[in-house]
Structures are given as structure tokens and as C-alpha cells.
Amino acid sequence: MVRSILIIDPGHGGNDPGGGTNRFWKEKDLALKISLYQYERYKELGVPVAITRTTDRTLSPEQRTRIVRESGAKYCHSNHLNAGGGDGAEVIHSIYDGKAMAEEIASEIRRAGQNVRRVFTRTLPGNPNQDYYFMIRDTGTVVTNIIEYGFADSPGDDVQQLREKHLVYAEAVVKAFCEFSGYSYRNPSGDFEHVEMPVNPSPNQTDSEPGGKTGEYIHLPASANSWRVYPLDVAPTKGNEVGFLNPAKFGGLTYEVLGRTTPHVYIIETKDFGSVQIYGHSSTGATINRSSSQQSNNNIETPNSPTTDSSTGKHLHLPASENSWRVYPLGVTPTKGNEKGFLNPAKFGGLTYEILGRTQAHVYVIQTSDFGRVQIYAHPSTGASIRDDDNRTETTDSQATTDQRILNLPATENSWRVYPLDVEPVKGNEKGFLNPAKFGGLSYKVLGTTQAHVYIIETRDFGRVQIYAHPNTGATITTS
């Protein structure tokens, strides 16, 4: 099978609607529609193409950029709708490459009737050798352009133009890329506004065969060391895999069958690769059954199954006296040498996590911001305690739903530092910079606090971060 030369990335998705949202559309939905249209057009024109998502699916920055890096593609379109009160399309390229393709795309969008605000690049504040946007910075050797088709809050004509002509602009990008990359281009047939938008099978879609979302499970035997999994938008054949599962490591693996793409090819949700296809003909040793009893952990890739703590609302508290606390992957024995990393309760005045399960006595399953879902040893002799209450300093979804405060950053500031959740929020530890001035000020929902005047917020470019916002910085806190 021919490797894709191009991969399309519909921005945002799932629980991230995107900032380019208004009363007519959500950015994630319009970006997906544009992307699916382009995806079908490129296939029609014979351009080998892939796509990061075909459904309303949440992708973390790490997942998204990994899919792009591992796609084998040379180029990437990352499709977005802008916000911030401007008007016109923008195309962003790397400080190292992508300018020629960006200018070709901008020229074709202009010819299609949309004004082009700018073609530009941006560096990471404090590091002129790195690109600012993660979709450009972290996609490896793939030449990536971020395409902003217009502004959702434009004071000009963008909103009306995008409502009427979003597929016209999508087609302009297709034409530009074909001309840039040497593929033969021909005009589409039919009406832009009545294009059928086929969506590949997903966890929300099943076919007419028995199976799909009917309570079936696929069991992968412990005798298999390696099992290929494939993205949803490719043929499930050797060379197209997105990665490998290791049933032997976990004494066998079991997943709920979420759908089928072809006979004996199932859709499952995996911890490392997200929603993927997997070939499970009976000749491979895989079995399909109506329960997950062959591997009670189902989707948790560990030989030990969580027990009932996950349903009791209990929390694990790590005391502020400890500087270092080992955490372990789910599939290993939780002993020294097997650790995945270290937590630092002292840095945060203690840490508290919801207990999601147990793998053995005094070994708990928790979800961490840096290491994902891990095991942690917490015998009472370690100083750890189990509580019914949740007084964590690291934010949680339950906190986010009860905290209705809004953090407002003033339009006078060009640069505002944000920090990862697990570091001290001081100069040198920043993850990146926000630019309130560019958008006439920025506002974020307060999801939690880590210390006085240090808030946890969710950002588009850096994910969930800490931000220092003492009143003397010009920031304000309001109640929504």
C-alpha cells in the first residue's frame, strides 16, 4: 500500500470545541467538515492521504502530533477557524520550512474570494530556535501548515463567507496542494453544499454485521508477544500499523468491540493508541465472546484488576513531608527499578488523588497529570492516608465543575507565562507564553489552584497549566 504523502488534521474535537466557535458553528465541527471534504477529494484525485480523526474525538496534543509524526506523510494541513476579532484567512508555517506551501495555499484561498490577513511564522518566546505552535513544533519532519480559514468573531464578512463558502475554501487548499506537490488537479463535480461526507467507522458507528456495540469483547491470547493495530482511516495491512499491543506482557488482553470495518477487523479503544482497528480472525488465536471474563481488566493493560475502591469515592493523600514518591506502570510489579517516575508531594504541600482501583494490598491505581494511570504503593507506614474527602491541590474534573471563577488577563500584556502542573511556577520552568494583547485580553475558567495566586487553567496551545496571576499583575478574578 502506498504511504500517505499528506495527512489532514481537523483541529480540536471531543471535549475541546475550539476557540473559533460562535452561534453558527463549533470550530471542531466545521474543521472536521472541511477536513473530511478534503480527505475525500484527495482520494478522488489520487493523492495518498491520511487524517488524524474522522469523528468528534478528543485528541491530546501528544496523541495528535504522534499520529502526524508516525503517519509517514511528508506534509500536513491542520485546519482551524480563528478567533480574536480579525478578518480573513491566515496560514502559519514553521521557521524552518513550509513557507512555499503556505504561500501557495494563501494565494488560492484569495483567488477563491477570501481575503488573506497574513502568512506568517512565530517563535517560542524566550527561544527563537523553536516554533510557537505545537502542531508545527512537535510534528517532526512533517511539513505542517496551520490553516485558519477565517474568524468566528470577525467584525467583517468572515462569518457569512464561512457559512456559505467553507467548502469553496477547502477546495482552494486542495487545488493549491496539488499544484504545489505535482499532482494532477481537476475541478470537483456537483454542488459544494450537497457533498456527501462519508465518515469512517468509529466507536459511535457500527455496521450491519453482528457485533459492533453489542456487548462483545475481543480477547488476545497471552501467547502473542506482538499484535498490530491500525488507524481507523487506512487499510488494516502490514505497513499501515500505528503500533503494537503486547498481550504476553499482561497475560492476555481484552477489549470491548466498538464496531467493525470489515469482516474480522474490529474497532477497539486502547490506552496508548486511542481508537484503532485490529485484525482478529480466529486463526490468529483471538476469540470473540459476550463477556470480558477472560481478562477481567478489560482495556486496563495490567494483569491486576482494580477492586472496589473506585466506587467508594476514596482518595489517597500523600503527605507534604515527602519529596519523592515512586509510581509504576500498570503492567509491572510495583518494586524499585520498575518505576515510571516520581511524584513530589512536598512541592505542592501534599498531593491527593482519587483511588481508581487496587492491584494488590496497599497498591492503588491513580491518574496523574504527568504519568497517566499508574500504580502507587501507599502502606500506612509510608505516611500516606486513605480518606473519604478530596482535598487535592492538583485539580480534578470534580473541582472544575464547582469552581465558577473566571481569570481575566488584560489586553495590555503581550506575554504571560504558563507552567506545567508538576513544577514550581517560576521563571525558567515555563511551558510557554500566552499573548493577551493579540486577542484584546484573554479569559479562562479557573479549574483549581496550586498555591496562593497560582491558578490552573485549560489553554488551547498548552493544555492544562498553572498560571501566576496576583492582582498586581493586572489580572482579575470574576464570577461567572
- How far apart (Å, rounded) are the C-alpha atoms in residues 43 and 26? 26
Give the Å distances, CA to CA, from 88 to 69, 127, 156.
29, 29, 9
Residue 151: beta bridge partners?
A: 82
Do 248 and 224 form a contact (C-beta atoms < 8 A)? Answer: yes
Q: Please provide the distance, in angstroms rounded to a whole number, between the alpha carbons at the two ends of the chain.
A: 53
pLDDT tens string, the chain, 480 residues long: the values are 457 899 999 999 988 898 899 989 999 999 999 999 999 999 999 999 999 999 888 899 999 999 999 888 999 999 999 998 899 999 999 999 999 999 999 999 999 999 999 999 999 888 899 999 999 999 999 999 999 999 999 999 999 999 999 999 999 999 999 999 999 999 987 655 444 443 333 333 333 333 334 478 888 988 888 899 988 766 777 777 888 898 888 778 888 888 777 678 888 888 778 788 898 888 788 888 875 544 333 333 333 334 333 334 678 888 888 888 998 887 677 777 788 888 888 877 788 888 887 777 788 888 887 787 888 988 887 888 887 654 434 333 333 333 478 999 998 888 899 988 877 777 778 888 998 888 888 999 988 877 778 888 999 888 888 998 888 788 998 886
Residue 377: beta bridge partners?
A: 363
CATH code for the domain defined by 6-194: 3.40.630.40
Q: Which three cell numbers stand for residue 84?
A: 480574536
pLDDT of residue 203: 33
By DSSP bridging, strand 116-120 and strand 89-92 are parallel
Ranges of CATH 3.40.630.40 domains, the chain: 6-194
Helices (H) and strands (E) in the chain, counts: 6, 32
pLDDT of residue 251: 77
CATH for 217-289, options being 2.30.30, 2.40.10, 1.10.357, 1.10.3470: 2.30.30
By DSSP bridging, strand 476-479 and strand 265-270 are unpaired
Residue 163: beta bridge partners?
A: none
Helix axes 158-181, 99-111, angle to 10 degrees: 130
- Report the residue count for the chain: 480
| DSSP conformation letters of 158-181 | HHHHHHHHHHHHHHHHHHHHHHHH
Q: Which candidate, 221, 225, 265, places its Cα nearest to that of 245?
A: 225
Strands (E) across 295-371 are located at: 315-318, 325-327, 341-343, 351-354, 357-360, 363-368
Residue with cell 488534521: 9
pTM over 0.75: no
- How far apart (Å, rounded) are the C-alpha atoms in residues 390 and 413? 36
- How far apart (Å, rounded) are the C-alpha atoms in residues 235 and 4? 12
Fold (CATH) for 308-387: SH3 type barrels. (2.30.30)
pLDDT of residue 170: 97
Give the Å distances, CA to CA, from 371 to 142, 237, 344, 413, 424.
27, 31, 13, 33, 18
By DSSP bridging, strand 49-51 and strand 6-10 are parallel
The CATH architecture assigned to 397-479 reads Roll (2.30)
Do 105 and 90 form a contact (C-beta atoms < 8 A)? Answer: no
- How far apart (Å, rounded) are the C-alpha atoms in residues 304 and 333? 10
Q: Which three cell numbers stand for residue 258?
A: 466498538
Ranges of CATH 2.30.30.40 domains, the chain: 308-387, 397-479
Q: Which three cell numbers stand for residue 33?
A: 467538515
Work out the angle at residue 239's Cα, subtended by the Cα atoms of residues 233 and 245, and round it to the nearest 5 degrees. 80
